[in-house]
Structure 1
Amino acid sequence: MTTLSLAEATTWVAAVFERHGCSTQSALSVARALVAAEADGLKGHGFSRVPTYLQMLRSGKIDGAARPSSTRPHPAVLAIDAAFGFAYPAIDLAIAELPQLVSEQGIMVASICHSNHCGAAGLPCEALARRGLVVLLFANTPGAIAPWGGRQPVFGTNPIAFAAPIEGRHPVVIDLALSKVARGPIAAAKQRGELIPEGWALDSEGNPTTDPAKALKGTMIPLGDGKGAALAFMVEILAACLPGANLAFEASSFLDGEGPPPATGQLMLAIDPAAFGHSRFNDRIAALAVAVERQSGARLPGARRVASRARAAQVGIAISPEIRAFGAV
């Protein structure tokens, strides 16, 4: 294993993607996202994505030189076209434009179409929460979850992320997929040649499996069973129907270079707490945080990420020989 500082790792990853046809801006956007996820301990959205991202670049499934663009079809809507590139530059554009627009409108929605895998969805929410906003992000992903009672995937794992500022502290961050586990850890287990725990997935025949290859060809078990499937349906409407993106069952895989661009979507809702006619937001969320943390063993959502990030900043992060070799090709 090679250990690099966060800055060194960002430089290394960006150079890998530039060598494979990414523009400098796009490569740096991808590198920042992967390194941040790895530092936060979210390895399914970190360096394990390098091989599959490069496969998509080589096949043309991702346009590494794409430049996202935005329009304002309505005063409260920022419509972003990712142009079949990586999702990260499009999300960066939303992060850059939303704070000023939210200060004018009180609430704004950014929709993203012609997009791709958006990685650790809590990170862009956290970036906006550090600007004082309350943020929700919805993303649809290629088909992975069957309707409750069905066998064929119709919905993606469809993450929901949320962040809110707490005065004088790190923002609270929630980031969850609507399957019992995200597909990233299953893909990572396949790369390592490891089995996955029971209860994560079903094979293509609808049988429980611990084989990650069979799981990736089958369906994921939704979080909360039927309730999770209903939430995945909701996210399809928010993240695909509203932005005009591909539905999960229309999208090609995020995990290989086969087929056309996935053209999935994301939707970000950003809210200014000061827009509600009172000044009690900071007091109310601080009281809520105290009510959680006063209980022994309880912690605020996102606290584990913050601790992992602090360790990574101090000691660096490791890149496996396999990932280094893949990036050197």
Structure 2
Amino acid sequence: MSHETLALTELEAIARRALCQSGVDLPAAEATCAALMAAERAGIASHGFARLPYYLDQLDSGKLNPRAVPTLTQRGAVVNVNADSGLAFPAVQRGLDRGMVLAQEFGVVAVAIGDSHHFGMAGYYAEQAARQGLVCIALSNGPAAMAPWGGNVPLYGTTPIAFASPRASDEPLVIDLSLSEVARGKIMLASQKKEAIPSGWAIDRDGNPTCDADAALAGSMAPAGGAKGAALALMVELLTAGLTGSHYGFQASSFFNVEGGAPHIAQLLLLLNPAFFSAGYVQHTEMLFSAMLAQPNVRLPGERRQATARQNSSSLSLPASLLEQLRFRAG
């Protein structure tokens, strides 16, 4: 597969124009591009610009509302955002921005986003909060891709979870993971490249382990940690779709085609201000990090992605076929 290297500014301009051509207003396009760029720079291509053609198709078909206007309501330390069946990025960013301000007043804030869509790399939002001195947990449900433990019919999404914590002089600690053995986007990429997937990533529709990416997509993702991962996925469904009245995974339409109505999924951001709990949180956590790093072969979660992002500070190499699509859509 041939690749082409572009300056970040040029890549962002192409993506922004493509979104605007599909009816998205400039602020929403900018919020979307910022999130996709963060994933791409971090080396998480499955959550980067490879997603954009799917978003554009859904915007053009009306499955996604191109003119969505997210609405925000606040009750004490709880913020509810309705994404209006549009792109998730502007809605989640608006809720996060409000939540970070409120955390200075209330100490603990919950931001729930309903009637939403795919929100990209969960750690993108958690890390923003950590850079403001806050501890953050970010959760999302998604279209069914993972069966309950013991079953073979997907009911839960792959339910990404991110956690971020501020540090004194270094990059924030960022844990970003999926409760499936791997992110579904990785299997999507393997399918597109006609590549096999490792054993243990998924089961086929009959409940048998498979290394065939297409069979995996038609079957079920394997939960990380077996029954424990499946139980945590249930918890995320309840904390997102359950709290907001949005669609559970088994009710949500696909992120990857134009069939059906909007997915109507949900996200939850929990923001904690350490100053409301005890003095010296950052210094105290460094004791644990130092003990970890004193052992050979240990690194902190998120360090590799942050190093990759620094390396990709001026340009990125993307598949030429993807860039051809985006340029065509940009007009």
**Aligned residue in 2 for 1:63:** 65
| Matched position secondary structure for 1:304 | helix
Shift of 1:193: 2.1
Distance in 1 (CA, whole Å) between partners of 2:190 and 2:148 is 25
1:100-147 Cα deviation digits (max 9, x unpaired): 211111110000000001110001100011011000011001111111
SS at match of 1:209: coil
SS at match of 2:268: strand
What are the within-5 Å matches in structure 2 for residues 41-56 of structure 1? 41-56=43-58
Paired residues in the alignment total: 326
Aligned to 2:272: 271
Code of the residue aligned with 2:280 in structure 1: it is R
Between the aligned partners of 2:85 and 2:189, the Cα distance in structure 1 is: 24
Residue type of the partner of 2:287?
A: A
Residue in 2 that maps onto 1:23:
25
In 1, are the aligned partners of 2:96 and 2:269 still within 8 Å (CA)?
Answer: no
Deviations 1:29-51 (A, max 9, x none): 11111111010011110122122
Shift of 1:95: 2.2
Partners of 1:84 and 1:115 within 8 A in 2: yes
Structure 1 residue 284 displacement after superposition: 1.0
Q: Is the 8 A contact 1:83 1:115 kept in 2?
A: yes
Gaps of 5+ in 2: none
Q: Deviations over 1:279-314 (max 9, x none)?
A: 120211111111111111101110001110011015
Which of 22, 35, 38 aligns to 1:36? It is 38
Does the aligned pair in 2 maintain the 1:50–1:323 contact within 8 Å?
Answer: no
Matches within 5 A, 1:106-185: 106-185=107-186
Q: Is the 1:26–1:64 contact (alpha carbons within 8 Å) kept by the matching residues of 2?
A: no
Percent identity of equivalent pairs: 41
Asked if the contact 1:85/1:115 (under 8 Å) is kept, the reply is yes
Aligned partners of 1:87 and 1:117 also within 8 Å: yes
Contact 1:146 1:154 in 2 (8 A): yes
- Which portions of structure 1, spanning 4 or more consecutive aligned residues, are displaced by more than 4 angstroms? none
> What is the TM-score normalised by the length of structure 2?
0.96
Report the CA distance between 1:196 and its aligned residue: 1.4
Counterpart code for 2:281: F
Q: CA deviation at 1:199?
A: 1.2
Contact 2:80–2:95 (CA under 8 A) maintained in structure 1: no
Q: C-alpha distance in 2, partners of 1:211/1:12?
A: 34
Give the letter for the 1:293 counterpart: L
RMSD, aligned α-carbons: 1.1
1:71–1:79: 8 Å Cα contact kept in structure 2? yes
Contact 1:248 1:264 in 2 (8 A): yes
Query: What's 1:292 paired with?
Result: 292
2:94 partner amino acid: L
Asked if the contact 2:138–2:163 (Cα under 8 Å) also holds between the matched residues in 1, the reply is yes
User: Within 2, Cα distance between the matches of 1:40 and 1:57?
Assistant: 26
After superposing the two structures, state which structure 1 stretch, 84-93 or 94-103, moved more: 94-103
In the TM superposition, residue 220 of structure 1 has moved relative to its aligned partner by 0.4
Following TM superposition, by how much is the alpha carbon of 1:209 offset from its aligned partner in structure 2, in angstroms? Answer: 1.7
1:281 partner amino acid = Y
Indicate if the aligned counterparts of 2:274 and 2:281 stay in contact, CA closer than 8 A: yes
